[in-house]
Structure 1
Amino acid sequence: MVAALARFSRKTLASVPSSLRPLLSRGFPLSSSSETAAAHPAASPPPPASSPATSGDRVRWDYRGQRQIIPLGQWVPKIAVDAFVAPNAVLAGQVTIYDAASVWYGSVLRGDLNKITLGFSSNVQERCVLHAAWSSPTGLPAETSVDRYVTIGGYCLLRSCTIEPECIIGQHSVLMEGSLVETNSILEAGSVLPPGRRIPTGELWAGNPARFVRKLTHEETLEIPKLAVAINDLMQSHFSEFLPYSTAYLEVEKLKKAFNIPL
């Protein structure tokens, strides 16, 4: 049956003018490969199928499907209007970001087990991970709470801890379950705060495990909120790059090209 159809197709194609044969056989070659090559010696092989990322009828994704805001069940991250969340940061579940706060590039706030809160004008810098456990072995609140004017340096890990207002957490620090950093305190870079450990008000701690170093001076405590405000001012320039009006330069470039104005 197949052979009969093939012979019939070749006879039909032979009776069609040569100018119409490419139209009939496009996409459905009716002759063998040798006959097609003889009939169309100048024809080039069909182009390879384009990948989904480059084909004309598909969308080119910049982040390969990465999602910035991830709802989990009934929990949806809440972000204030003037808060900055970097485009490659990830917020999932019970996460609340208050006004003027900032979550910088590559950070992950995973509130799938408990709440994560980032207070007013606080900042979580690059590559930080904030998580929360179901419960704390110390009996203290298991949620991760960061109050106002807190600066968290890059590459920190915070899990079910509480940070009161106006504190500095140095980069590469680890705060374990149930740990508490009281107001106007500083944890030096690379420190580890064990579960249930408390840093009293106005003290500088450092080490692994973290230990008391000295009392902070009055001038040092005044500088803590100033650092958070300075990072907030720096955040504004990054924040403006991801607002709709920041793409106005593209329209300007289109007009320059339309009127042959040198860019």
Structure 2
Amino acid sequence: MEELPVTDDRFPGATILEFDGKYPQIADSAFIAPGARIIGDVTIGPEASVWYNCVLRGDIHRIEVGARSNVQDGSVFHVEGPRPDTDGEPTVIGEDCVIGHMAVVHGCQLANRAFVGMGAVAMDGARIAEGGMLGAGALLSPNKKIGPGEIWIGRPAKYYKTQDEAQIAKIKFQTERYCKLAQRHLAELRGATS
């Protein structure tokens, strides 16, 4: 079987594909790990990182990942396309967001500094306000809204409490750590291919 063309030399080992005339727009300072799949109408901002074996498939609507946000290993982003009753739902991630390992983010929107925990699922039309958190393993049902700084947990997710300053500082630390870690991985990968 013939290999798919890898169309962006900046990110060796990642698959970056055009779909339906739309090619992913990725900032030069972003990190896209080997094994990641970025397809179609996807925009990735400065210093954002998409880690190993993630899939961001913008084939029937758009996906945006804001500056310094990180999408951790094995996560899947997709969208809800237009239907007779709706224009569909893009997936829009603000700046400085943390998306934990193996999360599924589908047709929803996260404001700046939002957090989606490991293995969590955020569904069509859901919204997470600035600094809001969807806990690990939680399921945010369609059209549910997490308010600013709120933590929601469970399946289905329900309000648990509002974050304190210590929790907000941990998320900020996590974002900064992933920006630095992405640069270290990039340096290792470049060293391995030179």
Answer yes or no: is 1:114 the counterpart of 2:114.
no
Residue 165 of structure 2 corresponds to 218
Deviation by residue 1:209-251 (Cα, 9 ceiling, x = unmatched) = 00011111122223322211111111111112333x6644xxx
1:123 aligns with 2:123: no
**Partner secondary structure for residue 238 of structure 1:** helix
Moved >3 Å (runs of 4+): 64-67, 135-141, 245-248
Gaps of 5+ in 1: 1-51, 53-60, 249-263
* Partner of residue 38 from structure 2, selected from 91, 103, 107: 91
Cα deviation 1:148-192 (Å, max 9, x = unaligned)? 110101111111100001121101111110000001111110000
Aligned mates of 1:139, 1:212 — CA distance in 2: 28
**Structure 2 counterpart of 1:164, from 103, 106, 111:** 111
The answer as to whether partners of 2:75 and 2:101 remain within 8 angstroms in 1 is yes
CA distance in 2, matches of 1:131, 1:240: 29
Asked if the contact 2:26–2:44 (Cα under 8 Å) also holds between the matched residues in 1, the reply is: yes
Secondary structure of the corresponding residue to residue 115 of structure 1: strand
Match 2:184 to one of 237, 240, 262: 237
SS of 2:39's partner is: strand
Show the counterpart of 1:176: 123
Q: Which amino acid aligns with 2:90?
A: E
Match in the other structure for 1:196: 143
Show the counterpart of 1:43. none
Hey, what's the Cα distance between the residues in 1 that align with 2:172 and 2:141?
Answer: 25
Instruction: Name the SS for the 1:112 alignment partner.
Output: strand
Question: CA–CA distance in 1 between the matches of 2:39 and 2:146?
Answer: 29
81-90 vs 220-229, which deviates more?
A: 220-229
Distance change >3 Å, CA 82–CA 246, structure 1 → 2: farther
Q: What's the TM-score, normalizing by structure 1?
A: 0.66
Match of 1:187 among 104, 123, 134: 134
Q: CA-atom RMSD, angstroms?
A: 2.2
Q: Which has the higher strand share?
A: 2
* Structure 1 CA distance for aligned equivalents of residues 76 and 118 of structure 2: 12
Please identify the structure whose Cα radius of gyration is greater.
Answer: 1
Q: In the TM superposition, what is the alpha-carbon distance from 1:139 to its structure 2 partner?
A: 6.0
- Does structure 1 conserve the Cα–Cα contact (< 8 Å) formed by 2:115 and 2:134? yes
Question: TM-score, normalization: structure 2?
Answer: 0.88
Counterpart residue number, 1:101: 48
How big is each residue's C-alpha offset from its partner over 1:89-136, in whole Å with a ceiling of 9 and x where there is no partner? 000000001100000000000000000000000010111110011148
- Higher-helix-fraction structure: 1
> Which residues in structure 2 correspond to 1:136-155 (within 5 Å)?
142-155=89-102
Task: Return 5+ residue gaps in structure 2 as ranges.
Answer: 7-14
- SS of the residue 1:242 aligns to: helix
What SS class does the counterpart of residue 34 from structure 2 fall into?
coil
